[in-house]
Amino acid sequence: MSFCKRLQTIFSNVCKNYRIFALCPCLTVYFKIEDVALTQESRLTLTGLAKLAGVSTSTASRALRDNPLIKKETRERIQALAKEHSFSINHAASQLRTQKTNVVAVILNLTDHTEQSINDPFLLKMVSALNLALNKAGYEMLLSNSMMADSDWASYFISSRRADGLIIVGQGKSEDNVNDVVTAKAPLVVWGDPKLNKNYPIVGSDNQYGGYLATKQLIESGCKKVLFLGDTEHTEMAQRYLGYQQALKEAELHFDPSLTIDIDITSKAAYEKVNQEILNRGLFFDGIFAVSDMVAFGALKALKERYVSIPGDVSVVGFDDINMAELFHPALTTVRQDTDLAAQLMVEQLICQFEQKPAQSKVLEVELIKRRSTPESY
């Protein structure tokens, strides 16, 4: 054992709180262990950083949060030091103290009885828009299907302080879960039908007007028998259905209930149903208003397989305007929902609640995007 080693050992035994720093015997420097804790394996903490900077933890904390109470010079010095050591605040500790998580849970509220899944492009578009909007506002997004939280969202996310608030995408057909969240007084925004007069803020498109626009476009293209392809019980779809009826009425067209085809809102269901209907009843329609682009795609596939010309024989209008709508052949005429704006509004309304301000429901304008699945206007 070298002299240095031995010295170190003896030294350690003498006083466990000190450690030899430089091992040259004539120049032995020692520090209290806490002073060199930084060189240990354990991660750097605020206390450590403060010690490095020669200030108190309070000062370090304030400096990092750019609190003007601290002299600018000091602030910058500490921030630089933090960057140098790639130190970052322990989020859990901070959370515990401030009772703020800076996390928002996004829950995709899919009812069991539909096949519409987390794979649905529109939902995913919504999710990515939300992600962006949340990040912009300084929040992280915790994405959840309903598996973890099962049903008691309030206690899972809020009471357990996993998130500061909830964004629920889709009202689905049941709203028990949502009501529980409201009862628990958890900050909450729902994507759904904003015209519903609920005691929680709902952001959504003007679905009825969208349905009206879509149907009107078909009628103006010369369609006399417009199919409604969708789920009339689904909250938002029901609104679109109203718009459909409104447009028919306005054009003084007879409302034929046999033109309402109730399906699960997936491409697959649409494809199968349209196929089957044509098989049974022939081409008894000349236009389709599909409640979503995905449903429209399914219908189009069926039509194309039967060599029905689009928009020659049948015109089709969708809803959502997902990216694929433009890429499809023929490019799909559809009603655009502005997901970016929607996400932004939802985040705004949620933040209102964080700040104890009242939140409101918001209706988003929709826009008809004319493409090739309806005839060119003349």
| Nearest to DNA of 46, 364 (CB atom) | 46
State the DSSP code for 159.
I
Shortest spacing between CB 76 and DNA, in angstroms = 11
Q: Return the number of the residue (103 or 291) whose C-beta is nearest DNA.
A: 103
| By CB under 7 A, residue 64 contacts DNA | yes
**For residue 229, how far is the Cα from the chain centroid?**
27
Residue 41 or 355 having the CB closest to a copy of itself: 41
Look at residue 35 and give its three-state secondary structure. helix
Tokens in use for 233? 């019980």
DSSP 44-57: P-HHHHHHHHTS-H
> Closest CB to a copy of itself among 87 and 200?
87
Binding of residue 240 to a copy of itself (CB under 8 A) = no
Tokens encoding 225: 């028998």
Q: Is 80 in the site for DNA (CB under 7 A)?
A: no
Instruction: Provide the 3-class DSSP secondary structure of residue 318.
Output: strand
One of 15, 22, 29, 69 touching DNA (CB under 7 A): 69
Q: Interface with DNA by CB under 7 A: which range of 54-62, 102-110, 133-141, 150-158?
A: 54-62
136 lines the binding site for a copy of itself (CB under 8 A): yes
The answer to whether 148 touches 108, Cβ cutoff 8 Å, is no
What is the CA 211 to chain-centroid distance, rounded? 24
178 close to 149: Cβ distance less than 8 angstroms: no
Q: Are 30 and 21 in contact (CB under 8 A)?
A: yes
- Binding of a copy of itself at residue 80 (CB under 8 A)? no
Shortest spacing between CB 256 and a copy of itself, in angstroms = 28
The option from DNA, a copy of itself, none interacting with 70 (CB < 5 to 8 A, set by class) reads DNA
> CA-to-CA distance for 152 and 174, rounded, in angstroms?
14
What's the distance, CA 295 to chain centroid? 22
Q: Which of 65, 281, 306, 329 contacts DNA by CB under 7 A?
A: 65
Residues that bind a copy of itself (CB under 8 A): 43, 86-93, 95-96, 101, 103, 117-119, 121, 124-125, 127-128, 131-132, 135-136, 140-145, 147-148, 152, 154-156, 159-162, 184, 267, 271, 297-298, 300-301, 304-305, 323-324, 327-329
